[in-house]
Amino acid sequence: MFIRRHYIAFFILVFVISGLGVWHQSALEKTNFISEIVGTLSQNSNKKIYTAGFTKNNVIPHLFKKDKTDILWIGGNMQINLDGIEKFGTILTSNPLLQYLLKKENIGSYFVPEGYIKEKIIPIKFGKEVIVLGKPPFIENILRTKEISYKQYQWEEVIDHPELVSEAGAIIAEDIMEKSKYFGIPQIIFNASVSGIPILTQWKGEDLYSIFYIFNNNINFYMFEKDALEMIEKILSNDKEIIKRAQKNKEFVNKYFEKQAVIKQISHILFTKENYAYPISDNSMTINISSKVGHYGAGDYWIADDIAHSFDNVDITFRNSVYLFPADIYLRLRGWPSSFDDKKLGNFNILYQLYIGRDIPSEKDFYNDLITSMRVNDIFLSASKKVAEKMQQLGYKSYYLPQFTNINKFYSDYDERLKSEVLFVGNFHFDRTGIVWAIQNNLPITIYGDKYPEGVAKEKYIDNRILRKYYSSAKIVLNDTMPKMRYLGFVSNRIFDATACGTLVISDYMPEIEEIYGNSVPMYKTKEEQKELIKYYLEHEEERVALAKKAQEITIKFFTSDVIVAKLKEIIKTHYPKK
């Protein structure tokens, strides 16, 4: 069958898998969980429920004929043979990747997680010792260098004996899925989650998936060694954000993964052919962004995080979130209007267009996509005054709401070790004309970012939480804007962040920047003008400092998260009086 070959090929392409490995929890625990649920459901229904892929059995039960009343529940075995799947009336899957593949083949299915039995949970006492599971990148080296006490277990040990971990200050885990060929959550992770223990794992990148992504923003991710160290230090210092995230994870796991919750979900699907919709809480808010779970390198995430801190009861969800958390207010942050916005997920829905994340075929395509997205949104916000006004002309409730900075995170914080003459931080994922010019002009530029030719960038990534140190330690921060952003009037938040640090920004020319900052952000139109401006302000410190101070004052007065969120709240109040 084609889908079987397609499915296996998909996993060979996407996952780095070696050896037979281990399963997500012991066979006994898995059998108990599945049999208890199936047994309970069978008592209340005359429908037959078949299971496959919960153990090393990777063959779907054979049916002699198609029966719309027969139900198939597929576990996380990534080597499942899908022959015969079309004979079942209802398909449940505990693997969101399989659900995605089935959808591409026009086969409907419902996501139902593998969960846990409350009585089987082994509580973990909060302590000081770090527990390392497997060999997560960089972690052992960091812990040894910093002389941090830790215990390390191989996944095989704790899969069968989760009681080995009775006390922990944090769980730092390698992604088990790469070794196990199984998309499932180990019992030890349920134990830690229900006990409120912080969990840290590595973000796998845009093209890979992890079982930990299912936890959404409720666990902690790192990308490189530097931010892994920072996350560990925050965890061990009982950082309030880490504690808050662990508490939310505890609530999340109890709500969606406990046996009774799974039974409720399946029962609802069987009788209504729809996933169970949890009641929307009053005063709840979900901020959805178009990057992927755990991608702290994405600017979208930090903008969402800044907004979230100004509201109560907020969840942040991502493009690949399994759980999207419908809420009273549903705010979509977008760098490009997205076709995956196909239904209303809140009582009041907002589309906030922050920037243009990639090049677009034409201005007409851009607005057509916006119009399509507005079918599931009640109001439109744009960081471009030009785009906001155009949407008003098209008859939509539309407002200009510029990008902003968080002055609790971006402020003057000089570090001698990070000093530079001219600094640029950003990826080389489109025509960075200004950066190419700076290199051709032999300017003393220091570059941080990904996708540059070998040797151009000093490092690939700077964590947003310490970016201020780099901006504050530069004499000049160079801004370079994507052509379509320039054309449509979107001002990069790089300008707001860098000026908040008291550093002079020199930018490619945009009338929108000139309208905001006047002459306090010098701008160039040509390669020669760029060279002259940068050379002049490097040589004239007094003028450079004066302009930087003037721009900083403008940013702090008009473009902070507090100022912009206050405007957002007023807009919501106008159109959604309940709030």
Residue-wise pLDDT tens digits, 53-81: 887 667 788 776 776 788 999 988 888 88
Cα 24 to its chain centre, rounded Å, is 24
Cα 321 to its chain centre, rounded Å, is 8
Query: How do strand 199-202 and strand 167-173 relate by DSSP bridges?
Result: parallel
Q: How many CB atoms lie within 10 A of CB 252?
A: 20
- Output the DSSP codes for 17-83: --SS---SS-HHHHHHHHHHHHHHHHHT-SS-EEEESSSS--BPPP-SS-EEEEEEEE-SBTT-B-T
Give me the pLDDT at residue 253, please. Answer: 96
Q: Give yes or no for a contact between 472 and 414, defined as CB atoms under 8 angstroms apart.
A: yes
Residues 6+ away with beta carbon under 8 Å from 355? 335, 383, 403, 482, 485, 490, 492, 493
- Answer with the residue of higher pLDDT: 102 or 500: 500
Give me the pLDDT at residue 17, please. Answer: 27
Distance CA 333, CA 287 (A): 7
State whether residue 379 is helix, strand or coil: strand
Owner of token pair 């009861």? 313
Q: Range with the lowest mean pLDDT among 16-30, 91-105, 356-370, 381-395?
A: 16-30
Judge whether residue 11 has pLDDT over 50.
no
How is residue 307 written in tokens?
């907004």
How is residue 44 written in tokens?
């209340």
Cα 25 to its chain centre, rounded Å, is 27
CA distances (Å), origin 412, targets 63, 144, 394, 418, 498:
69, 33, 42, 13, 9
What percentage of the chain carries pLDDT values higher than 70? 91
Judge whether residue 247 has pLDDT over 50.
yes
Measure CA of the first residue to CA of the last residue in the chain; give whole Å.
Answer: 53
Give me the pLDDT at residue 579, please. Answer: 53
Phi, psi angle pair for 374, to nearest 5°: -70, -10
Give me the pLDDT at residue 339, please. Answer: 54
Judge whether residue 304 has pLDDT over 80.
yes
Sign of CA dihedral 123, 129, 130, 135: negative
Judge whether residue 47 has pLDDT over 80.
no
Cα 341 to its chain centre, rounded Å, is 16
Mean pLDDT over each residue of the chain, to the nearest integer: 88
Distance CA 317, CA 289 (A): 6
pLDDT tens-place string over residues 329-384: 999 999 865 555 778 999 999 999 999 876 677 888 889 989 999 999 999 999 99
Measuring CA to CA, which residue among 218, 199, 451, 410 is closest to residue 318?
218
Owner of token pair 């009273």? 328
3-state secondary structure 307-358: HHCCCCCEEEECCCCCCCCCEEEEEEEECCCCCCCCCCCEEEEEEEECCCCC
What does pTM read for this prediction? 0.90
Give me the pLDDT at residue 299, please. Answer: 87
Most confident of 209-213, 226-230, 316-320, 569-573: 569-573
Give me the pLDDT at residue 413, please. Answer: 97
How is residue 249 written in tokens?
């994870």
What average pLDDT score do residues 499-503 get? 98
Give me the pLDDT at residue 8, please. Answer: 38
477 band by pLDDT with thresholds 50, 70 and 90:
very high
33 band by pLDDT with thresholds 50, 70 and 90:
confident
Owner of token pair 């962004």? 289
Instruction: Give per-residue burial for 505-529: e unless 16+ CB within 10 Å, then b.
Output: bbbbebebbeebbeebbbbbeeeeb
Give me the pLDDT at residue 29, please. Answer: 58
Owner of token pair 């330690």? 473
23 band by pLDDT with thresholds 50, 70 and 90:
very low
- Answer with the residue of higher pLDDT: 419 or 44: 419
On the CB side of 383, how many CA atoms lie within 13 Å of its CA? 27
Most confident of 55-69, 94-108, 300-314, 527-541: 527-541
Give me the pLDDT at residue 454, please. Answer: 92
Give me the pLDDT at residue 467, please. Answer: 96
- Answer with the residue of higher pLDDT: 484 or 385: 385
Distance CA 202, CA 82 (A): 31
Distance CA 309, CA 30 (A): 39
Query: How do strand 346-353 and strand 327-334 relate by DSSP bridges?
Result: parallel
CA distances (Å), origin 109, targets 76, 91, 97, 318, 431:
14, 5, 11, 21, 42
- Domains of the chain, each with CATH number or no CATH: 2-111 (no CATH), 118-258 (3.40.50.2000), 285-404+571-575 (3.40.50), 416-559 (3.40.50.2000)
What average pLDDT score do residues 381-395 get? 97
Give me the pLDDT at residue 48, please. Answer: 83
How is residue 501 written in tokens?
């640090």
- Answer with the residue of higher pLDDT: 72 or 204: 72
Cα 414 to its chain centre, rounded Å, is 30
Distance CA 329, CA 556 (A): 28
Where residue 419 falls (left for φ over 0; alpha for ψ -120 to 50; beta otherwise) is beta
